[in-house]
Structure 1
């Protein structure tokens, strides 16, 4: 009987346990400030961690920054890794995901492509959006959005320009859904007040 080539290939390929053991060994060496081990750890795990960063931040530029910061933390805190609590991949993914979420909180429009934001704000044939709702041109709407609290700005941008549901936004920003609802409602109320103030007559009742 001829040998099963696919079975032989599977036996030769490293299994999940073997890969985890190798990564754990590299992290242990990194904890002792082994630069070569750090390079090997980066080569082995960077592609998948970069993919995770892209899924959260939605842009390659943001993901590159997140990945760099994530590996700095991996280098610094390698000594805290406990293989009994998590696999190496899970531990590193948690670090990178937290970095990505921190990035989103720091950057009001992170996670929304600039080109997409411009298109949604300026498209005349688009479905009703923020610019129509508040009767504002794109430039003024962008200015008003810039005056909101960062978390309100981010939640509204994800809801209106990315089309995410409130539960999806809660997952993206790692916040309770009730908090997300508050951010959006208060942000929209602030936009409404700014728009009404723009159209209000000056003192004396004259335009």
Structure 2
């Protein structure tokens, strides 16, 4: 009986997560009334984890910093819309920052991270087999060719080949139909192949 009683007490005891959630929820309520001190406290308590989320999506610290800043601006503006009955404060804020990160990727379809990843993967022989077959050039030249594609083609190819996303994941990231994503990738690869073939075609009647 004593063991059962102890179990009941433990089950009803608040956990650290519960306490942190209540603390953050209280801060959001104060922020909804434009409490600057509460906003500073919320930033100190959650910025590190939210920055980690932003950097996992964007892959660069510079982009993550911008995303985090924009995310906290939205948290400040919309704190009054937070409903503790629908989600935890952490989940609510993470959703805001994640959406900001995805918006950043849509606005910046060819961020420097893709070139860096391309250099690394081609140098180590870790590039996708199909892409390596279709576009057999060095990393620097390939990056230049990719830079000539349309923004949506660059983004789709980068997400597919350098981040390993499936076509359905890319469609979600770019907020586009999966058929459209397939078209972006196939046409982008066709353009890359044409660029490579044009480079290797002799220019008759001139020096090269």
TM-score of the superposed pair, with normalisation by structure 1: 0.76
Deviations along 1:116-138, whole A, 9 cap, x unmatched? 32122334686635354223232
Q: Residues 84 and 123 (structure 1 numbering): CA distance in 2 closer, same or farther, change over 3 Å?
A: closer
Q: For residues 67-120 of structure 1, give each alpha carbon's deviation from its aligned partner in whole angstroms, at most 9, with x where no partner exists.
A: 1221122123334x1417843333322221111012212333559566532122
Paired residues for 1:164-175 under 5 Å: 164-175=165-176
Matched, 1:24 2:18: no
| TM-score (normalised: structure 2) | 0.76
Match of 2:105 in 1: 104
Deviation at 1:4, TM superposition (A): 4.5
In the alignment, is the contact (CA less than 8 A) between 1:20 and 1:89 conserved in 2? Answer: yes
TM-fit CA distance, 1:38: 0.3
**Paired residues of 1:26 and 1:38 also in contact (CA < 8 A):** yes
Query: Take 1:179 and 1:130, find their aligned partners in 2: how far apart are those partners?
Result: 19
Separation in 1, partners of 2:60, 2:100: 14
Equivalent position of 1:122 in the other structure: 123
Query: What residue is the counterpart of 2:47 in the other structure?
Result: 46
Encode CA deviations 1:161-194: one digit per residue, 9 max, x unaligned: 2232212323443433223212211211221232
State how 1:24-103 maps to structure 2 within 5 Å. 24-79=25-80, 81-83=81-83, 86-87=86-87, 88-103=89-104
The aligned residue for residue 13 of structure 2 is 11
CA gap 1:174/1:19 in 2 versus in 1, 3 angstroms: farther
CA 1:74–1:127 in structure 2 vs 1: closer, same or farther (change >3 Å)? closer
Q: 174-183 vs 116-125, which deviates more?
A: 116-125
Q: 1:193 maps to what in 2?
A: 194
Q: Alpha-carbon deviation of 1:201?
A: 4.2
After TM superposition, what 4+ stretches of structure 1 lie above 4 angstroms from structure 2? 1-10, 18-21, 109-115, 124-127, 203-207
* Structure 2 unaligned residues grouped into runs of 5+: none
Inter-partner Cα distance in structure 1 for 2:118 and 2:188: 17
Cα–Cα, structure 1 residues 5 and 43, in superposed 2: closer, same or farther, change >3 Å? farther
- How many residue pairs get aligned? The number is 205
Unaligned runs of 5+ in 1: none
Change (3 A) 1:6 1:58: farther
Change (3 A) 1:7 1:108: same
- Cα separation, partners in 2 of 1:136 and 1:15, compared to 1, 3 Å: closer
